[in-house]
C-alpha cells in the first residue's frame, strides 16, 4: 500500500463520508494494510491491480447503497401512499445527490496527480498491447478512443471517470433482464387483442417520430449555426440518430401507476405494448442510421441508395433478432415439453434462465441485436414454455426476472442521476435543449393523433379522445433512450445529444410520471375498476363473455374485429404450434391431416390427450389456472392446467393465491386469468361461443 | 468487417461446429455484416471493440451451452436414479470435451497471425496507458504481467487465451453466491450443536493439513531437485501455499448425495460445517502465507517473526471479515424489523440481495476477504433476518440464491474441465503429482483421526469410527481449491501447483464423489431414515424431544454436552440478540434489567409482545413454520412465526407446502423444522423441557 493508494482511498472517503459511516472502516482497513505492507517500496503490478479492484468495489458499493436508500424510500412512499413520485424518479434524485457530492465534494486535485504515460505507434489501435518495462512485459487491453479534451480529465479526476461505467454494461448486463421481463410479463390477451394498433404505433409511429424530431432538430442546428452557437460539426444523420434515440418511450413509470390504480386494460396494453416494441424499433433504427452514416461518404446528407440500404439493414437486423429470439423460445419449449424436467424446479428454472440468456449472446454473436432478441424470446417463453413449466417453476422464473428487472431498472435510473454530474463532457446548449423539448412534443403528437385516426377507421372498439391524450402524455423517455445516448459520446454532436437526452428523461419522468394520477382523473379515465370485471368499459369485446351463451351477435362483432391475418395466425398457433410445443391445446393427432399420423402421435404427449379428453373444445389460452377459481371449477379445471401434473400441485397453488397478498401486477393477472376461465366455463357448457373463434377452421 | 474478423469467427465456428448448429447462423450473420460494411477498409477502434465483444459473446455462449447440456444430463441421471456421477463431475466431463475440441479442433495458426505490438517505457506499469496513433489517443487498461513464454502463446492462439477467464471472476462473481448460499442454507440446529467440533476441524484441522502437506511437498520438491526434475525456483512458502490451497474441502458433491439419501444429520453437519468453514480458513491462510513471503526477505525459509506476523494477518483478516459479515447481517435484520417492508416481498427480496452483496464489496473495499464476510453474512441473515421476512420473501430469497449457487457452481466445474486443456502453462510433474496425492491423504488423516480422538474425549455423543472413515473419505477438493490455485499462475511453482490441483480435483470429485453411495453402505452408515425421526441414531440428544416430558435425564445430558461458552452465547442470543433483531423471542422488556426499560420498549415491536403473549416460554429457534404442521398446531403456531403478519399468510404457506413437491434439501428442512415445532409443542404444554436450556438463566 503505497502513499498514492492511500490518498486515493481518502478521496473516495471524502465522498462517502456524507453518506454513511463506512469511511471509518475504510480508513481503518487502509492503515491496517499500510502497516503490514509498509516495508515494500516496489510499485508492483499486483498492488496496482489490487488498488483498482478496491476502487471498483467502492464504486459498486456506492451504487448498492444508493439502491438500498431508494428501496427504503420507495417502501415509505408506498406505505404512505405517495404517488407523485415513482421509484425511478426517486432513484434519479438520489443519484443526483451522490453525483453532486462526487463532483463538488472532492477537491479535483486531491489524488492521483500523474498524467498517464503515453506511447506512440504507427499502426492502428489493436485490442492487445504489450508494454515492455525493463525486460518485463505487461499486457494492456484496449478500452476505447479518448479525445484530446478527455486526456486532461484523466489527469484531473480519475475517480469521476472510474465511477462512469462502461456504456456497454447497460446494453449487455442491465437492459436484457429489463426487456426480457417486459416480454415475459406481457399480458397476452390484451396485447394480442390490440396487436395491430401496437405494431402500428411501434413501427410507423416511431419512424414518424424519429423523422419529425430529426428534421426539426436539423432546423434547430441550422439556427444554432446562424447564431454562432455551434462549435463543431453536426450532421443531418446526427439529428436523425437523435430522433431515433429519443423516440423510445419508457414503460416503467406510467405503467407502474396504471397497474396500481387498475386503469383501463386496453389503454394499458396499448401503452405497454407500444413502449416495449418501440424500444426494439429504436435500437435497430439507431443502428441502421449509424450504418447509413459512413456509406453516405462525406456529405452526410440524404442519399436514396444509402437510405434504402439502411432500411434493408433495419429489416435484416430486426427480423434476424426476432427469429433468433423466437427460435430460442421454441427450443426451450420443446426441451421442457419432452423432458420430465418439471420434477426438478431448480433444474427447470436454471435451464430457463440459461436459455433466455443464450438468446442474447447468440444474437450478439451473430451481429443481431441481443436486446431485441431477448424481448421476443420473453414473449415466446410466456406463450409456450410457460405452459410446460411446473407450478413452482412458473413462480420461480417470474420472481427471478422480477427481481433482476427491478434491480437493473433502479440501477439505471440512479446512474442517470449520477451521470448528470459525473459525466465530464456535458454540452449544455439551451437552444438545442428547448428545441428538443418542442420537437419531442410535436413528434409524439404526430405519432399518436394521426395514427389513431387511421386505426380508428379500422377498429370496432375505437380509441377514444381521452385515451389519445393519455397516450400523448404518457410518452416518457427512460432507460432505453439513456442507454442509446450514452453508447457513443465520442463526438461533439453526440455529447450534446447525451446531455439533452438526460434532461428530457429527468423532466418527463418527474413531471409526466408524477402527473399521471392527476392526469388520469382529469381525463376521466376510470381507475380502480378492473375493465375485465366491468362490462361498461369495453362493451363490444366483452358482452359475449358476460352473457350466458345467447349473445351470438357479440361473437360476430368480435369476429369482424379480428383481422384475417391475426385470425389465421391464431388458428395456426392454436391448432399446430401450441400442441406441438406445449402440453395444452388439442392433440396434433386430431388437427393434423391423417397422413401425418405417425409424426403427430410422436409429438403428442400423453398429458395432451388427457387434457383433451377432459376439456374437449376448450381454448386453453390460459397461462395457468389460479387457485381462487380452481375451487369453483373443480377437478376438470385442475387438469386443464398444462403446467400441473396432479391435483396436489393445484391445491398448493390454491392455498398460495388464497393468501390474498398480491402485488399490483399479480392481482391483475389473476383477474385476467379469471376471465380466461370464464371463457372456458362458457365453452365447457357446450355453447361454443369461442373467442377468438377456433370453430372457424 | 475486415477479413481478419471473418477469419476469427470461422475459427470459433470450427470449434462450435462439433457441438451445435449455431455455426451456420454465425456464418450467415458474418457474411451479412461483411456485405454491408464491405466498402470500408479502415481498421477502426469500434470494429475492433465490436469484434472483441462478439468473441466474448461466443465464449460465454459456449459455457451456457455447456451448462445447458449439463442440466439436461443431470435430469436424465436423476430421472434414472444414477448416482455414481454427480452433476459437478458431469460438468467437468463436458468441460473436458469442449476443452479438447478447443485445443485440438482448431489449427493453431488459423487466424490472428499478428504479434501484439509492444512499446517500451522506463517507469513501472500503470493502470492506464495512452496510445498515440498519428494524433489520435487510445486508452488501454492494465490486464496483468505476462511472462516471456506467454508472449509466444499470445501470437499462437488468441482464442484459447480469451476463453481463459480472468481468475478474479471466480473470486468476485462466482464464489460469493456459492458461499453465501452455504451460509444461508446452513441447518442451524445441527450446525450449532456440533459447533465446537466443526470449528476444531476447520481451524486446527485445516492448519494441520496445510502444514503437513506443505512440509511433505517440500520434501518432494527436494527430491525433485536431487533428481534434476525441477527447472525453476520452488520455495518453502510455495509449498505451504499449496498446502493451504489444497486443504479447502468442497461441500458440494458428497453433501448432495447425503441430502438425497437422508444420511445421518450429525455427520452431515460435521462435513458441511467443516467444508464451509475451512473454505474461509483456506482463503485467509493462503493470503497470510503470501503476505509472509515478501517479508521473509530472500531466504523464503522459516522465520519466527514473519511467521507470527502472518498469524496476526490471519487473525486480523479473519476477524475483520467475520465482523463485517455479521454487521451487515445485523443491519439487514434491523431494517427488516423496523420497517414494514414485508408487505412488499419484491422490495424485501431486493433489499436482502443488495445488503448481502454489499457485505462482499464492503469487505473487499476494506482489504478484508469478501468471500469470508459473505459466509458469515449468510449465517447471520439465516439466524436473524430470516425471521423478519415475509413468508413469500423467505421463499424468494432461498430460491434466488439457490439458482445463483447452482449456476455458479456448475459453471466453475465445467470451467475446470475446460481449463485442463485450454490453460496454456500446465506443468505436469509426475513426482510432484504423486507426492501431492500421498500428501493430501496423510494431511487429511492427520486432520481427522487425532482431532476426532481429542474431540471424543469431550463429546458425550462420540463420533464413531465409521463416521471418521466417512469424513476421511469425503475430503473432496473442489471450487475453492481451484479458485485459489488459478488466482496467481505467474511463476513456475504456481503453474505446477495449478496443474496438480486440477488433477486432484478431478480425481477426488470423480472417484470419491462417485464412491460416496457404496462407501456409505460399506461403512454401515444408515441412510434413508431421517435421523430426526429416528430416536436410535442419536439417542442422547433426542430422547428428550421424543418423549412427552418425563425424560428429565435426557435434558441433563444435553446440558452437560453443551460447552459453557456455547451455553453463554445461546442465552445471550436468545434473551437479547434475537429479541433485539427480530420479532421472535421474549420481549426485551422482560429480559433486560429494569433501568433499561425505555430502550427495551423502544426496541420491542408490538408483534413481539403478541408472540410472547401466546407462546410464553417458547424457544423460537424456528426459521419458519411449515404449513404441514400449521394444520396440527393451529392458530398459536401461526402467530409464533415471526415472519407472518396474519393467519391468511400462513394459510398461503400451508397450501404451498402441501403440494408435496419438494426437492431433497427442502424436505429435510421441513423435517428439521418439524422437530423444532415438536420442541415448541413440548414447551407450550408447560413441561419446560427446554433444549438447549433457556430456563438455566
B19 at A interface, C-beta within 8 A:
no
pLDDT, mean of residues B370-381: 90
pLDDT, mean of residues A322-339: 91
pLDDT at residue B500, rounded to an integer: 93
pLDDT, mean of residues B454-469: 85
Beta-carbon contacts of A137 under 8 Å, excluding residues fewer than 6 positions away, are A130, A131, B118, B145, B146, B147, B148, B151
Residue A683 half-sphere exposure, CB side, CA atoms within 13 Å? 23
Q: Which chain A residues are within 8 Å of B30, Cβ to Cβ? A: 366-367
Q: Which residue of B has its CA nearest to A401?
A: B400
Nearest to B116 among A25, A120, A128 (CB): A128
Nearest to A137 among B151, B366, B392 (CB): B151
Instruction: Compare A695 and B677 and report the one with higher pLDDT.
Output: B677
A391 at B interface, C-beta within 8 A:
yes
Reported confidence tier of residue B548, pLDDT bands at 50, 70, 90? very low
pLDDT digits (tens, 9 = 90+) for A90-125: 888 898 988 888 878 766 544 444 556 677 776 666
Highest-confidence segment of A127-141, A587-601, B275-289, B544-558: B275-289
**Residues of chain B above pLDDT 70, percent:** 64
pLDDT, mean of residues B166-191: 82
pLDDT at residue B502, rounded to an integer: 92
Reported confidence tier of residue B534, pLDDT bands at 50, 70, 90? very low
**Interface contact A140-B136, CB threshold 8 A:** no
pLDDT at residue A670, rounded to an integer: 46
Q: Is the pLDDT of residue B115 over 80?
A: no
Q: Is the pLDDT of residue B45 over 50?
A: yes
pLDDT at residue B612, rounded to an integer: 60
Reported confidence tier of residue A563, pLDDT bands at 50, 70, 90? low
Reported confidence tier of residue B352, pLDDT bands at 50, 70, 90? very high
Q: Is the pLDDT of residue B303 over 90?
A: no
Highest-confidence segment of A165-174, B330-339, B452-461, B612-621: B330-339
pLDDT digits (tens, 9 = 90+) for A630-655: 333 333 333 333 333 333 333 333 33
B120 at A interface, C-beta within 8 A:
yes
pLDDT at residue B300, rounded to an integer: 52
B364 at A interface, C-beta within 8 A:
yes
Reported confidence tier of residue A73, pLDDT bands at 50, 70, 90? confident
Q: Is the pLDDT of residue A277 over 60?
A: yes
CA distance A26 to A55: 11
Q: Which chain B residues are within 8 Å of A648, Cβ to Cβ? A: 658-661
Q: Is the pLDDT of residue A540 over 70?
A: no
Beta-carbon contacts of A367 under 8 Å, excluding residues fewer than 6 positions away, are A317, B29, B30, B32, B33, B54
CA distance B143 to B164: 13
- Average pLDDT over chain B, rounded to an integer: 71
Reported confidence tier of residue B606, pLDDT bands at 50, 70, 90? low
Q: Is the pLDDT of residue A252 over 50?
A: yes
Highest-confidence segment of A63-67, A241-245, A368-372: A241-245
pLDDT at residue A459, rounded to an integer: 79
- Average pLDDT over chain A, rounded to an integer: 71
Angle formed by the axes of helices A492-507 and A391-422, nearest 10°: 120
Closest by CA position to B243, among listed B201, B207, B275:
B207
**Interface contact A122-B133, CB threshold 8 A:** yes
A41 at B interface, C-beta within 8 A:
no
pLDDT, mean of residues A545-562: 41
Nearest to B139 among A54, A143, A661 (CB): A143
> Chain A 580-639, CB below 8 Å of chain B: which residues?
627
Reported confidence tier of residue B81, pLDDT bands at 50, 70, 90? confident
Reported confidence tier of residue A449, pLDDT bands at 50, 70, 90? very high
pLDDT at residue A135, rounded to an integer: 67
pLDDT at residue A631, rounded to an integer: 31
Instruction: Compare A471 and B52 and report the one with higher pLDDT.
Output: A471
Q: Which chain B residues are within 8 Å of A287, Cβ to Cβ? A: none
Q: Is the pLDDT of residue B101 over 80?
A: yes
> Chain A 215-274, CB below 8 Å of chain B: which residues?
none
pLDDT at residue B529, rounded to an integer: 53
Q: DSSP assignment of A143-190, as one string?
A: EEEE-HHHHHHHHH-HHHHHHS--HHHIIIIIHHHHHHHHHHT--HHH
Name the pTM for this structure. 0.75
Beta-carbon contacts of B686 under 8 Å, excluding residues fewer than 6 positions away, are none
Q: DSSP alpha helices (H): ranges in A389-477?
A: 391-422, 430-458, 465-473
A123 at B interface, C-beta within 8 A:
yes
Q: Which chain A residues are within 8 Å of B121, Cβ to Cβ? A: 117, 119, 131-133
CA distance A98 to A15: 8
Complex ipTM value = 0.73
Q: Is the pLDDT of residue A531 over 50?
A: no
pLDDT, mean of residues B675-683: 44
Q: Is A491 in a helix, a strand, or coil?
A: coil
pLDDT at residue A683, rounded to an integer: 39
> How many cross-chain Cβ pairs, A to B, lie less than 8 Å apart?
407
Instruction: Compare A194 and A584 and report the one with higher pLDDT.
Output: A194
Closest by CA position to A283, among listed A193, A364, A385:
A364
Which strand ranges, in their side-by-side order, compose the sheet holding A136-146? A118-121, B128-133, B136-146, A136-146, A128-133, B118-121
The alpha carbon of residue B591 is apart from the nearest alpha carbon of chain A, in Å, by 30
Q: Which chain B residues are within 8 Å of A657, Cβ to Cβ? A: 652
pLDDT digits (tens, 9 = 90+) for B146-156: 655 555 555 44
A129 at B interface, C-beta within 8 A:
yes
Q: Which chain B residues are within 8 Å of A44, Cβ to Cβ? A: 124
pLDDT at residue A206, rounded to an integer: 92
Q: Which residue of A has its CA nearest to B149?
A: A137
Dihedral angle computed from the Cα positions of residues A299, A303, A306 and A310, in that order, rounded to the nearest 10 degrees: 100
pLDDT at residue B652, rounded to an integer: 36
CA distance A114 to A35: 24
Are β-strands B136-146 and B128-133 bridged in parallel, bridged antiparallel, or unpaired?
A: antiparallel
CA distance B525 to B465: 11
> Chain B 311-340, CB below 8 Å of chain A: which residues?
313, 316, 320, 324, 335, 339-340
Reported confidence tier of residue B464, pLDDT bands at 50, 70, 90? confident
CA distance A303 to A296: 7
Q: Which chain A residues are within 8 Å of B20, Cβ to Cβ? A: none
pLDDT at residue B565, rounded to an integer: 66
CA distance A289 to A237: 7
Instruction: Compare A75 and A625 and report the one with higher pLDDT.
Output: A75
> Chain A 133-162, CB below 8 Å of chain B: which residues?
133-134, 136-148, 151, 154
Q: Average the pLDDT over each of A133-147, B90-104, B217-231, B527-541 and give the range with the smallest value.
A: B527-541
**Interface contact B347-A143, CB threshold 8 A:** no
Beta-carbon contacts of A439 under 8 Å, excluding residues fewer than 6 positions away, are A212, A213, A216, A217, A220, A243
pLDDT at residue B613, rounded to an integer: 56
Instruction: Compare B628 and B520 and report the one with higher pLDDT.
Output: B520
Residue B10 half-sphere exposure, CB side, CA atoms within 13 Å? 13
Using alpha carbons, list the distances in angstroms from residue A329 to A175, A189, A315, A643, B569.
19, 19, 21, 17, 53
B490 at A interface, C-beta within 8 A:
no
Dihedral angle computed from the Cα positions of residues B4, B6, B12 and B18, in that order, rounded to the nearest 10 degrees: -140
pLDDT at residue A617, rounded to an integer: 41
Instruction: Compare B259 and A546 and report the one with higher pLDDT.
Output: B259
A21 at B interface, C-beta within 8 A:
no
Question: What sign results for the dihedral spanned by CA atoms B318, B319, B320, B325?
Answer: positive
pLDDT, mean of residues B576-586: 78
pLDDT at residue A329, rounded to an integer: 93
pLDDT at residue A581, rounded to an integer: 82
Q: Which chain A residues are within 8 Å of B401, Cβ to Cβ? A: none
**Interface contact A125-B131, CB threshold 8 A:** yes
| ω into B692 cis (within 30 of 0) | yes
pLDDT at residue A330, rounded to an integer: 92
CB-based burial, A79-107: b 16+ in 10 Å, e otherwise = eeeebebbbbbbbbbbbbbbbbbbbeebe
Q: Is residue B524 left, alpha or beta, with left meaning phi > 0 and alpha meaning psi from -120 to 50?
A: left
Report DSSP state, residue A119.
E
Pairs from A674-678 (Cβ < 8 Å, separation ≥ 24): A674/A532, A674/A626, A674/A628, A674/A629, A675/A189, A675/A532, A675/A545, A676/A189, A676/A621, A676/A622, A676/A623, A677/A622, A677/A625, A677/A626, A677/A629, A677/A633, A677/A637, A678/A545
Amino acid at each position: 500500500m503505497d502513499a498514492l493508494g492511500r490518498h486515493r482511498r481518502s478521496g473516495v472517503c471524502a465522498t462517502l463520508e456524507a453518506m454513511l459511516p463506512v469511511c471509518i472502516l475504510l480508513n481503518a482497513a487502509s492503515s491496517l494494510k499500510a502497516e503490514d505492507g509498509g516495508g515494500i517500496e516496489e510499485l508492483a503490478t499486483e498492488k496496482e491491480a489490487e488498488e483498482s479492484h478496491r476502487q471498483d468495489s467502492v464504486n459498486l458499493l456506492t451504487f448498492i447503497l444508493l439502491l438500498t436508500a431508494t428501496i427504503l424510500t420507495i417502501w415509505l412512499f408506498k406505505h404512505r401512499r405517495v404517488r407523485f413520485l415513482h421509484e425511478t424518479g426517486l432513484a434519479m434524485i438520489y443519484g443526483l445527490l451522490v453525483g453532486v457530492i462526487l463532483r463538488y465534494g472532492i477537491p479535483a486535485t486531491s489524488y492521483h496527480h500523474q498524467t498517464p504515460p503515453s506511447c506512440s505507434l504507427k499502426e492502428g489501435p489493436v485490442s492487445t498491447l504489450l508494454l515492455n518495462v525493463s525486460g518485463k512485459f505487461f499486457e494492456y487491453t484496449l478500452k476505447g478512443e479518448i479525445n484530446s479534451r478527455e486526456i486532461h480529465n484523466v489527469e484531473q479526476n480519475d475517480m469521476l471517470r472510474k465511477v462512469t461505467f462502461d456504456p456497454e454494461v447497460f446494453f449487455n448486463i442491465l437492459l436484457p433482464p429489463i426487456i426480457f421481463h417486459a416480454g415475459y410479463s406481457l399480458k397476452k390477451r390484451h396485447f394480442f387483442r390490440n396487436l395491430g394498433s401496437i405494431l402500428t404505433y411501434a413501427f410507423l409511429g416511431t419512424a414518424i417520430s424519429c423523422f419529425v424530431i430529426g428534421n426539426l432538430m436539423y432546423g434547430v442546428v441550422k439556427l444554432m449555426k446562424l447564431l454562432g452557437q455551434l462549435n463543431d460539426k453536426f450532421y443531418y444523420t446526427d439529428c436523425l440518430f437523435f430522433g431515433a434515440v429519443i423516440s423510445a418511450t419508457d414503460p416503467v413509470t406510467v405503467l407502474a401507476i396504471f397497474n396500481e390504480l387498475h386503469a383501463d386494460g386496453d389503454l394499458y396494453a396499448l401503452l405497454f405494448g407500444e413502449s416495449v416494441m418501440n424500444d426494439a424499433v429504436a435500437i435497430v433504427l439507431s443502428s441502421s442510421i449509424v450504418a447509413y452514416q459512413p456509406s453516405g461518404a462525406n456529405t452526410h446528407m440524404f442519399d436514396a441508395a444509402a437510405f434504402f440500404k439502411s432500411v434493408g439493414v433495419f429489416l435484416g437486423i430486426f427480423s434476424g433478432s426476432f427469429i433468433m429470439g423466437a427460435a430460442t423460445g421454441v427450443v426451450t419449449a420443446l426441451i421442457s415439453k419432452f423432458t420430465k424436467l418439471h420434477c426438478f424446479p431448480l433444474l427447470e428454472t436454471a435451464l430457463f434462465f440459461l436459455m433466455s440468456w443464450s438468446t442474447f449472446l447468440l444474437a450478439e454473436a451473430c451481429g443481431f441485436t441481443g436486446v431485441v432478441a431477448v424481448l421476443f424470446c420473453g414473449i415466446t417463453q410466456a406463450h409456450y414454455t410457460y405452459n410446460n413449466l411446473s407450478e413452482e417453476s412458473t413462480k420461480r422464473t417470474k420472481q427471478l426476472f422480477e427481481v433482476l428487472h427491478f434491480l437493473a431498472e433502479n440501477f439505471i435510473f440512479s446512474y442517470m442521476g449520477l451521470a448528470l454530474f459525473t459525466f465530464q463532457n456535458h454540452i449544455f446548449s439551451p437552444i438545442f435543449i428547448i428545441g428538443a423539448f418542442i420537437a419531442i412534443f410535436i413528434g409524439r403528437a404526430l405519432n399518436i393523433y394521426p395514427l389513431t385516426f387511421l386505426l380508428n377507421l379500422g377498429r370496432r372498439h375505437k380509441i377514444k379522445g381521452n385515451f389519445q391524450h393519455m397516450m400523448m402524455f404518457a410518452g416518457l423517455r427512460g432507460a432505453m433512450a439513456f442507454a442509446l445516448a450514452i453508447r457513443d459520446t465520442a463526438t461533439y454532436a453526440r455529447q450534446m445529444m447525451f446531455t439533452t437526452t438526460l434532461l428530457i428523461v429527468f423532466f418527463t419522468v418527474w413531471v409526466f410520471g408524477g402527473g399521471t394520477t392527476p392526469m388520469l382523473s382529469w381525463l376521466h379515465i376510470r381507475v380502480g375498476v378492473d375493465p375485465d370485471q366491468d362490462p361498461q368499459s369495453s362493451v363490444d369485446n366483452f358482452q359475449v363473455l358476460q352473457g350466458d351463451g345467447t349473445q351470438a351477435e357479440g361473437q360476430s362483432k368480435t369476429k369482424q374485429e379480428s383481422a384475417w391475418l391475426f385470425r389465421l395466425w391464431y388458428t395456426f398457433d392454436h391448432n399446430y404450434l401450441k400442441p406441438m410445443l406445449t402440453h395444452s391445446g388439442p392433440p396434433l393427432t386430431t388437427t393434423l391431416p391423417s397422413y401425418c399420423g405417425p409424426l403427430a402421435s410422436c409429438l403428442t404427449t400423453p398429458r395432451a390427450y388427457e387434457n383433451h379428453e377432459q376439456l374437449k373444445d376448450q381454448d386453453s389460452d390460459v397461462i395457468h389456472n389460479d387457485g381462487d377459481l380452481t375451487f369453483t371449477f373443480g377437478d376438470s379445471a385442475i387438469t386443464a392446467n398444462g403446467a400441473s401434473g396432479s391435483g396436489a400441485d393445484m391445491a398448493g397453488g390454491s392455498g398460495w393465491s388464497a393468501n390474498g397478498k398480491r402485488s399490483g401486477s399479480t392481482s391483475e393477472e389473476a383477474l385476467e386469468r379469471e376471465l380466461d376461465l370464464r371463457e372456458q366455463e362458457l365453452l365447457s357448457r357446450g355453447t361454443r361461443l369461442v373467442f377468438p373463434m377456433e370453430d372457424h377452421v
